Amino acid sequence: MPSASRVQHELARIQTFFPALTALGNRFAAERPFDGLTLGLNMHLTTLTAALVRELQLGGGRFVVAAANPATTDGGVVEYLRDIGVEVHPGTGRSDAQSPVIAAAPDLVGDVGFALGEAMIAAGTRPKHGLVEITGTGVARLRAREPLPFPVLNINDGRLKKAIENRHGVGEGLWSAYTTLTGQHLGGRRVRVIGYGRVGAGVAGYAKAGGAVVEVVDTDPVRRLIARFDGHVPIDPGAVTRPQVVVTASGTRHALSVADIGKLPDDTVLINAGHHPDEIDVPGLAAEATEVDHIGPRVVRYRHPKGGHVVVLGGGSPLNIVMNAGSNEPVLLHFTLLALGMRWLLQAERPNGENKLPAVLEQEVARLWLPGA
Ligand SMILES: NC(=O)c1ccc[n+]([C@@H]2O[C@H](COP(=O)([O-])OP(=O)(O)OC[C@H]3O[C@@H](n4cnc5c(N)ncnc54)[C@H](O)[C@@H]3O)[C@@H](O)[C@H]2O)c1
């Protein structure tokens, strides 16, 4: 299918199954909050972003968009956005797409990773009404740049992202990626989850719902107790059990070391759900392994120096992201928060620096996604 019509089909699907986006667009069409303004966006150019920009555009204004990363840029989306009158700069590297957006002097910015924000500071310019930052990485970067010369709304640290995207988005996506790569069903499998924060709780909960028996390791005994009340088997760090699948979700480097791997049963499947690609010490394992077999794309089997084998999925990077797995809904929900956050920045003069997410915005998002409930 030609990419433009593929994108049209995708957008029709998103519009059909996620009416909250249409409701948002209708609201913006009535209010026209962006009339007379230039809006700069730095985002991954996926069909989900195209769906967001289409609704934002109904609120008026001129849109100038940079690709956050050429590796995540969908050429069909670039074509589509240009067709609807958006200026798009795909770029060839991580930063050259941003220069034309800065040259357009945006009044208001939506950013991923604070890349556009940092580039504007370096260029000595500022978005008059401020910037909305979507990601945790971006929040860490902007905090390191304080004091900031413009207001920033942090939409990463709200209640919804942690409760929905971290828990349900990762939990669902990780197991669908596992099934795609292995063909295995979860029913009756023994799964160990290392780290029982939001991500680990989601991974454990979706495994249990799929019929797995889940054991949970956490260095924090309180989290282990919570895991027990959620219906999982808490085990002490260092306890030797016989899992068939181990998932790390701790945010800690080497939460699963080469020595830990040596204690696992033969052919245990290892998966990471945490942000850092070295939660499982895959480089250490690769260096010490006595055999390495590339079974298929993103599936590698290692023979541990102690004799047994393990199979690593996705090279130890977060598997749901590597496989782009899981439903669109948590991301689209976060995008509606971005849209309402941009409008919020326009409603009053906000103080320079990080602005915490006001509860009313998340309540508005919840009402949009729960019409009549
Ligand atoms: N895959 C994704 O798409 C995705 C999405 C959001 C967040 N993340 C990442 O997932 C990770 C977990 O996020 P969270 O919000 O659940 O964090 P969190 O800090 O709430 O939970 C982490 C848990 O791991 C425990 N822990 C830390 N080190 C440990 C160790 N060595 N052994 C056992 N337990 C240990 C902590 O006590 C804590 O309970 C982070 O790296 C986060 O960036 C991934």
pLDDT tens sequence for the chain (373 residues): 667 789 999 999 999 999 999 999 999 999 999 999 999 999 989 899 999 999 999 999 999 999 998 878 899 999 999 999 999 999 886 568 899 999 999 999 999 999 999 999 999 999 999 999 998 889 999 999 999 999 999 999 999 998 998 999 999 999 999 999 999 999 999 999 999 999 999 999 999 999 999 999 999 999 999 999 999 999 998 899 999 999 999 989 999 999 999 999 999 999 999 877 889 999 999 999 999 999 998 999 999 999 999 999 999 999 998 888 989 999 999 999 999 999 999 999 999 999 999 999 999 999 999 987 6
Q: Which amino acid is at 78?
A: V
- φ, ψ dihedrals at 348, nearest 5°: -160, 165
DSSP assignment string, 224-270: HHHHHHTT-EEE-TT-----SEEEE-SS-TTSB-HHHHTTSPTTEEE
Spatial CB neighbours of 232, under 8 Å, sequence gap ≥ 6: 193, 204, 208, 214, 215, 216
- 168 — phi, psi (to 5°)? -80, -40
The predicted pLDDT at position 3 comes to: 73
- Residue to probe by mutation, ligand 1, list 172, 275, 321, most atoms within 8 Å of CB: 275
- Write down the pLDDT at residue 94: 59
SS3 117: helix
Q: For residues 112 and 117, what is the distance between their CA atoms, to the nearest angstrom? A: 9
**Which of 199, 113, 136, 197 is closest to 164 using CA atoms?**
199
Write the Ramachandran bin of 72: left for phi over 0, alpha for psi from -120 to 50, otherwise beta. alpha
Ligand 1 atom with least separation from CA of 321: 3
Q: Tell me whether the omega of the peptide bond preceding residue 265 falls within 30 degrees of 0, making it cis.
A: no
Superfamily of domain 3-154+328-369: Adenosylhomocysteinase-like (3.40.50.1480)
| C-alpha span between 9 and 95 (Å, rounded) | 30
Amino acid 18 reads F
DSSP SS3 for 52: helix
C-alpha distances in Å from residue 236, one per residue of 202, 204, 216, 220, 233? 20, 16, 8, 10, 10
What is the β-pairing status of strands 309-313 and 299-303?
A: antiparallel
Q: What residues are in contact with ligand 1 under a 6 Å CB criterion?
A: 166, 170, 194-200, 217-220, 223, 237, 249-252, 255, 273-276, 318, 320-321
The residue contributing the CA closest to ligand 1 atom 17 is 197
Mutate-to-test residue for ligand 1 from 218, 276, 324, highest number of ligand atoms within 8 A of CB: 218
* Strand ranges (E), 102-142: 108-111, 130-133
| Same fold? 3-154+328-369, 164-322 | yes
Domain ranges of the chain: 3-154+328-369, 164-322
171: left (phi over 0), alpha (psi -120 to 50) or beta: alpha
- Whether the CB-CB separation of 275 and 251 falls below 8 Å is answered with yes
Lookup result for tokens 């028996």: 213
Domain 164-322 has what CATH class? alpha beta
Is 115 within 8 Å of 145 (Cβ atoms)? no
Atom of ligand 1 nearest to the CA of 220: 37
Give residues with Cβ within 8 angstroms of 344, minimum separation 6.
153, 358, 361
